[in-house]
């Protein structure tokens, strides 16, 4: 069901919109975590480590794809807020066409270059072959990932964040069931884990297509809307390219960081894979709150309702802080049992203490990405996407340089402090610019 966020309480709109996004983020992460938990429990530490080194590479592709869709969602939100459904459909159609042009070559290149990428990451020889196999198969899911994210962005920009949640719920359950059957009961190897992940991605994409054609036909592009509209494509690329670059910047840094973790050995790799899943549960929903703010601001900006912008931003900040209290408490008090989920009993002594100590520090630092995501959501919703790219690039650069300086000496436990340094500098850049932007915009509106 679409939602007009240009009327009514800003806080209520954000909460109503963000809760399904937050739950959807958890489900999407759960379907990744299930792979790792089942692989670690039924296949062993080597499989968990192999998925760990493959993860940042695949996330680079997935987040670049989702970044393009986030940017396109801003353009679609403006069209929906202005009541121009024809422009909405043509924007979504252009996004789908652009994605097809990008996703297929990326999939092919990813499959061909997988061994080279893993060599550059210094993946240990004892897990190299299974990591190559796992990553090559998961690359096949990239086109499905784009199709789902593009259609979900269309629904979310129209205020409907609940329907994409249902698709993710179905695909997450499907992934878990298939993993339990083929890995837990039939004891198949890591290849099957990758295949079930791709199957779940395909299911969510096909569900989105069928739903939009049957239930929201007014939003679904017709064949004529799939032809390239240069003006709209420039707008999609103008918003989508910096968003994709921003989203890709994070995993590029994580790929480089993974290279340092790989040098610490299989136990450290396995521990890092486990705690990275927890990091995702903390940070990706925070990004979801930022996405809710972006959709809200885009609709209200499209409708020229300037007085509703700041209350929405303040509500998003409060929501980020409330979520940090929840996830920070979970990470601090339940770190050991959470990490233990990812490993078999005989592997636990080398993995669990490392992971639990890591989470005890990150529990306090998770507030920082919450604040950065609220500010990022503001700038995306206002169409200032290059600001978010610059701040993200600075953040991941500081984090990566710190990791290269500190991890060889202090080990895995240095990583939380490197993350905190990056997020802090990001806020020191964005917050002053936020107040500068607000003052400049107010003067511009007064003159008009």
Answer yes or no: are the C-beta atoms of 302 and 157 closer than 8 Å: no
Q: What does the pLDDT read at residue 366?
A: 94
Over residues 195-214, the mean pLDDT reads: 86
Q: What does the pLDDT read at residue 345?
A: 63
Q: How far apart are CA 88 and CA 403, in angstroms?
A: 43
Q: What does the pLDDT read at residue 419?
A: 92
Check pLDDT > 90 for residue 40: no
Q: How far apart are CA 307 and CA 311, in angstroms?
A: 8
- 159 burial via Cβ count (<10 Å: 0-12, 13-18, 19+): buried
Q: What does the pLDDT read at residue 49?
A: 67
The reply to whether 169 falls in a domain is yes
Check pLDDT > 80 for residue 260: yes
Over residues 312-316, the mean pLDDT reads: 91
Q: How far apart are CA 266 and CA 262, in angstroms?
A: 7
Q: How far apart are CA 186 and CA 178, in angstroms?
A: 10
Over residues 425-446, the mean pLDDT reads: 88
Q: How far apart are CA 216 and CA 285, in angstroms?
A: 26
The reply to whether 5 falls in a domain is no
Per the structure, the count of domains in the chain is 1
Q: Which domain holds residue 335?
A: 10-447
Q: What does the pLDDT read at residue 172?
A: 76
Q: What does the pLDDT read at residue 33?
A: 66
Check pLDDT > 80 for residue 286: yes
Q: Would you say the C-alpha torsion 374, 380, 384, 390 has a positive or negative sign?
A: positive
Q: Of 2-6, 122-126, 297-301, which one has max mean pLDDT? A: 297-301
Q: Band of the pLDDT at 402, cuts 50, 70, 90?
A: very high
Q: In angstroms, what CA-CA distances link 12 with 16, 150, 159, 169, 363?
A: 6, 25, 12, 24, 28
CA nearest neighbour of 22 among 314, 274, 287: 287
The reply to whether 3 falls in a domain is no
Q: What does the pLDDT read at residue 267?
A: 81
Can you read off the two tokens belonging to residue 402? 């710190």
Check pLDDT > 70 for residue 211: yes
Answer yes or no: are the C-beta atoms of 289 and 320 closer than 8 Å: yes
The reply to whether 356 falls in a domain is yes
Check pLDDT > 90 for residue 325: yes
Q: What is the pLDDT of residues 94-144, one digit of tens each?
A: 888 887 788 888 888 888 888 887 887 777 777 788 788 888 888 888 888
Q: What does the pLDDT read at residue 359?
A: 93
Q: What does the pLDDT read at residue 246?
A: 65
Region of poorest pLDDT, from 63-72, 209-218, 257-266: 63-72
| Buried residues in 25-42 as b, exposed as e (16+ CB within 10 A) | bbbbbbbbbbbbbbbbbb
CA angle 180, 181, 187 (to 5 degrees): 90
Residue 312's contacts (CB-CB under 8 Å, 6 or more residues apart) are: 10, 13, 14, 293, 296, 297, 300
Q: How far apart are CA 55 and CA 135, in angstroms?
A: 8
Residue 395's contacts (CB-CB under 8 Å, 6 or more residues apart) are: 372, 422, 423, 425, 426
Over residues 175-195, the mean pLDDT reads: 70
Over residues 273-286, the mean pLDDT reads: 80
The reply to whether 335 falls in a domain is yes
Check pLDDT > 60 for residue 42: no
More confident residue, 369 or 251: 369
Q: How far is CA 315 from the centre of its chain?
A: 22
CA angle 264, 195, 52 (to 5 degrees): 10
Q: DSSP letter for 222, please.
A: P
Over residues 146-153, the mean pLDDT reads: 86
Q: How far is CA 388 from the centre of its chain?
A: 15
Answer yes or no: are the C-beta atoms of 79 and 87 closer than 8 Å: yes
Residue recorded with tokens 């759960």: 30
Q: How far apart are CA 440 and CA 375, in angstroms?
A: 17
The reply to whether 2 falls in a domain is no
Q: What is the pLDDT of residues 327-346, one digit of tens each?
A: 999 999 998 998 888 776 66
Q: What does the pLDDT read at residue 324?
A: 94
Tell me which H or E stretch contains 224.
none
The reply to whether 198 falls in a domain is yes
Cα radius of gyration (the chain): 21
Can you read off the two tokens belonging to residue 171? 């695909």
Region of poorest pLDDT, from 5-9, 35-39, 84-88, 144-148: 35-39
Q: Band of the pLDDT at 434, cuts 50, 70, 90?
A: very high
Residue 159's contacts (CB-CB under 8 Å, 6 or more residues apart) are: 1, 2, 3, 4, 5, 13, 17, 80, 295, 299
More confident residue, 202 or 37: 202
The reply to whether 396 falls in a domain is yes
Query: Mean pLDDT for the chain?
Result: 81
Phi, psi (deg, nearest 5) at residue 42: -105, -25
Q: In angstroms, what CA-CA distances link 356 with 248, 341, 353?
A: 28, 12, 5
Please, how many CA atoms are within 13 Å of residue 355, restricted to the half-sphere of its CB?
30
């Amino acid at each position: 069901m679409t939602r007009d966020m240009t009327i009514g309480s800003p806080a209520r709109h954000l909460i109503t919109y963000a809760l399904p996004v937050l739950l959807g983020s958890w489900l999407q992460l759960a379907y990744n975590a299930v792979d790792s938990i089942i692989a670690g429990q039924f296949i062993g530490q080597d499989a968990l480590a192999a998925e760990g080194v493959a993860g940042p590479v695949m996330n680079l592709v997935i987040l670049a794809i989702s970044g393009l869709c986030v940017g396109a969602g801003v353009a679609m939100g403006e069209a929906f807020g202005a009541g121009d459904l024809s422009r909405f459909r043509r924007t979504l159609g252009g996004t789908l066409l652009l994605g097809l042009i990008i996703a297929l070559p990326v999939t092919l290149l990813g499959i061909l270059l997988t061994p080279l990428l893993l060599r550059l990451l210094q993946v240990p020889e004892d897990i190299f072959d299974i990591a190559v196999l796992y990553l090559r198969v998961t690359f096949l899911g990239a086109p499905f990932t784009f199709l789902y994210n593009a259609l979900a962005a269309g629904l979310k920009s129209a205020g409907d964040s609940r329907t994409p949640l249902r698709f993710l719920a179905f695909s997450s359950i499907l992934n878990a069931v298939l993993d339990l059957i083929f890995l837990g009961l039939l004891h198949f190897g890591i290849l099957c884990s990758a295949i079930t992940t791709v199957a779940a991605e395909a299911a969510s994409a096909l569900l989105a297509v069928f739903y939009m054609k049957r239930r929201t036909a007014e939003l679904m592009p017709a064949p004529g809307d799939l032809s390239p509209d240069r003006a709209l494509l420039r707008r999609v690329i103008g918003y989508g390219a910096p968003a994709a670059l921003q989203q890709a910047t994070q995993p590029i840094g994580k790929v480089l960081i993974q290279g340092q973790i790989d040098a610490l050995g299989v136990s450290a790799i396995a521990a890092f894979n486990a705690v990275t899943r927890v990091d995702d549960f903390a940070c990706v929903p925070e990004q979801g709150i930022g996405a809710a703010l972006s959709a809200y601001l885009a609709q209200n900006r499209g409708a020229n309702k300037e007085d509703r912008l700041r209350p929405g931003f303040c509500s998003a900040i409060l929501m980020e802080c409330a979520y940090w209290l929840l996830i920070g408490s979970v990470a601090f008090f339940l770190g050991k049992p959470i990490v233990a989920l990812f490993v078999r009993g005989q592997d636990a002594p080398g993995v669990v203490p490392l992971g639990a100590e890591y989470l005890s520090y990150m529990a306090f630092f998770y507030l920082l990405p919450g604040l950065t995501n609220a500010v990022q959501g503001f700038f995306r919703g206002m169409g200032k996407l290059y600001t978010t790219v610059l701040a993200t690039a600075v953040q991941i650069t500081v984090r990566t340089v710190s990791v290269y300086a500190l991890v060889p000496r202090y080990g895995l436990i240095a990583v939380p402090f490197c993350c905190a340094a990056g997020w802090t500098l990001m806020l020191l850049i964005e917050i002053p610019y936020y107040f500068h932007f607000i003052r400049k915009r107010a003067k511009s509106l007064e003159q008009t």
